[in-house]
Amino acid sequence: MGTTNLEGAVALVTGAAQGMGAAHARRLAEAGARVGVNDRIASDALSALADEIGGLAVPGDVSVRDDVTAIVDRVTQWAGAPDVLVANHAYMTMAPIREADLDDWWRVLDTNLGGTFALIQACLPGMRERGRGRIVVISSEWGIVGWPEATAYCASKAGLIALVKTLGRELAPEGIIVNAVAPGVTNTPQLAVDARAAGVPVADVIESYARVIPLGRVGEVDELANAVLMLSDFRQGSMVGQVVQANGGSTRTRA
């Protein structure tokens, strides 16, 4: 695949301050897109990424509709309406179901599912005006198989899959192609959080996860970024409403 397949495109990547989001933004920029990078709050990491890729930092909370409008408006004023949206943002907490806080449940749903819905609505007018669009939603393996004590997160990620399948059908006739990536365990800063919670070194956590993955290792962010790039490519249009399960074979053909 050439390095200029997104030449002239304008992209918006949410949850981009670190990990997978930063990798997605870098890969899209390398392919020729002008990339707005979002995270919930302004940070040195977000600004540094924008400087690195010649992009624009657009902090804002995607669970707040006014913030979503402002994010898309700022990118549009800077480079034009986004015709590529990578909805990578996520919020997660874990607790047994009887101990789960209802307000926190809605914060997870409002961020992961509601925020993606609002972003798509905000980006649609520009995509329709240009007659093209690529929307890549980052779901999760947990949205397919579930996970104990992650009820709200799993529900939100499963909801994203249903959203993608529905909008894939609805928007494809307009040239706006919607797909999802459902990563399995990936080498991101989240693994350090898991390690602290378990009271063990990060290497032990990675080894533990790798033992149950057929490929024998966890995923890397650049591998996920390659999948996102493929789904963002305007030369690819036949994959519609699909869920790319990048997980080393741990779920295979489910969903």
User: Which positions are catalytic?
Assistant: 153
Question: For the packed helices 65-79 and 115-130, what is the interaxial angle rounded to 10 degrees?
Answer: 30
What is the maximal distance between C-alpha atoms in the chain? 52
Of the candidates 146, 177, 180, 145, the one whose C-alpha atom is nearest the C-alpha of residue 160 is 180
Strand 243-244 and strand 84-87: pairing? unpaired
Of the candidates 107, 119, 128, the one whose C-alpha atom is nearest the C-alpha of residue 13 is 119
**What's the CA gap between 147 and 142, in Å, rounded?**
6
Residue 113 structure tokens: 């599912």
**What's the CA gap between 87 and 51, in Å, rounded?**
21
